[in-house]
Structure 1
Amino acid sequence: MGKTKKAVIVGATSGIGYAVALELIKEGWTLGIAGRRRDKLKELHAIAPNQIKYREIDVLNQNCAGELQKLIDDLGGIDVYLHCSGIGKQNFSLKSEIELNTVATNVDGFVRMVDCAFNYFAAIGYGHIGVISSIAGTKGLGAAAAYSASKGFQNTYIDCLDQLCHIRKLNIDFTDIRPGFVNTPLLDGGGKYPMLMDVNKVAKRIVTALKKKERVTIIDWRYRILVFFWRLIPLWLWRRLPIRN
């Protein structure tokens, strides 16, 4: 019997992160879960107290990387880091506070946490970093400028870290997971969304992608087709498309 796999999931208190945690619990993984909502962390911990450690972590706090390292230490080390923390809103009126908060979470917070995981894995000699980005990062959506741009940043940042591993001859794998619209609290009150996916089915697909160490995963064949074709649309035409929900 092989050793029990260990993972940290940041953003495990709701949505995709919560659903992935449940899947990994079923498969016997030992988890470190993190998020801002202590009540949800305790709720998840109560499901499998022998498999879970948790810490309340807000990626906007300057000390969040230190808290992540403490959670890794609580587990006695990890094999996988999965970054699920993120926010996004449609912002047709381009309110600055919405855009800046999105960037602070999806860029600044993302870098703090992913860099911490990268440096941990570099030190121990191996590891696997997975991130939940979005298909929005592949083609900017005018209704969600900061969200799209921040997800594009995440896509590029992971590409860069992957290349950096080869430069430094490090044994770290990366999985960039790009869902479309998933039925989670992130979309609550945001309009009607086409091709809405069930979060539990998405979580199962994410677990498969992590196990296979897939480099880039666009979840659901419909979104793979969509992304293929919208990448072919020239900018002069894209800007004229009334994409909104």
Structure 2
Amino acid sequence: MKRAIIIGATSGIGKEVAKGLLLQGWKIGIAGRRKNALNAFRMTAPDNIEMEALDVTQEDATEKLHSLIEKLGGMDLFFLSSGIGHQNMELNTDIELNTARTNVEGFIRMVTAAFQYFRQQGSGHLAIISSIAGTKGLGVAPAYSATKRFQNTYIDALEQLSNMQKLNIRFTDIRPGFVATDLLNDGKRYPLLMDVNKVGAHVVRALNHNRRVVVIDWRYAVIVFFWRMIPRWLWKRLLIKTK
């Protein structure tokens, strides 16, 4: 039986991916900050779900990850879906630093722990949820877009490191656009908002096919294609914001 660890499985994309893997016969370990939500999810399939409450910004998160792996009996897939993001045109320093604390510090803590586990094991699949926001610096959300760009680059670097060390580790970088999750439950209107169930199914298919980089969905793939072509002098003049 294949085993997967999903960090950020209490809601949103992480929870949908966990449900999709369960339907395919995986045994899963779920982790997140909300113990009650984790326990409620675990009770839906107690024979195939293990759980561990953890906060990726805390130093003991690595220890708790290894505890969850031990409960599960191993790990073939590591999937990181925890992250935060806020519009912050006022450039509130606390918001920017908290975003970096989760999306950079917490990201490094979890991803390096998974990489080292797979290095010792000799193989594995390391997957993350980043965002199309990493394509360009977005004035409405500076820390969010910058931290997502960081995640894209970090996975690129780990892939090269894995190759240098002749490791059998596969990588998947999932880059969705706006998804109807708690992260966007802020009263604002977001364009091209995607259903989280459909996004979760898309992610599971991408993982099954060992896709390296996945932009969800085709509309956002088109947007990203053209974003990359916009020169800097024009990009800074664009008004990209939600209502």
TM-score of the aligned structures, taking structure 2 as reference length: 0.98
Q: Work out which of the residue numbers 57, 60, 63 in structure 2 matches 1:60.
A: 57
Partner of 1:14: 11
Structure 1 residue 58 displacement after superposition: 0.2
Q: 5+ unaligned residues in a row in structure 2: which ranges?
A: none
Within-5 A mapping of 1:1-245: 4-189=1-186, 191-245=188-242
Structure 1 residue 139 displacement after superposition: 1.0
Q: 5+ unaligned residues in a row in structure 1: which ranges?
A: none
* 2:229 counterpart SS class: coil
8 A Cα contact 1:158 1:174, kept in partner: yes
* 1:176 counterpart SS class: strand
* 1:70 counterpart SS class: helix
**1:121-147 deviation per Cα after TM superposition (whole angstroms, max 9, x unaligned):** 000100000000000001111100000
**1:129-182 deviation per Cα after TM superposition (whole angstroms, max 9, x unaligned):** 000000000111110000000000000000000000111000000000000000
8 A Cα contact 1:11 1:34, kept in partner: yes
Structure 1 residue 76 displacement after superposition: 0.9
* 1:229 counterpart SS class: helix
* 2:133 counterpart SS class: helix
Aligned partner letter, 2:162: C
8 A Cα contact 1:60 1:108, kept in partner: yes
| 140 and 134 in structure 1: CA distance in 2 versus 1, 3 angstrom threshold | same
* 1:142 counterpart SS class: coil
Structure 1 residue 24 displacement after superposition: 1.2
8 A Cα contact 1:89 1:190, kept in partner: no
> Which stretch has the larger CA shift, 182-191 or 150-159?
182-191
TM-score of the aligned structures, taking structure 1 as reference length: 0.98
Q: How many residues align?
A: 242
Moved over 2 A (4+): none
Structure 1 residue 190 displacement after superposition: 5.1
**1:3-62 deviation per Cα after TM superposition (whole angstroms, max 9, x unaligned):** x21100000011111111111111221000000001110111011000000000100111
* 1:33 counterpart SS class: strand
* 1:231 counterpart SS class: helix
8 A Cα contact 1:132 1:178, kept in partner: yes
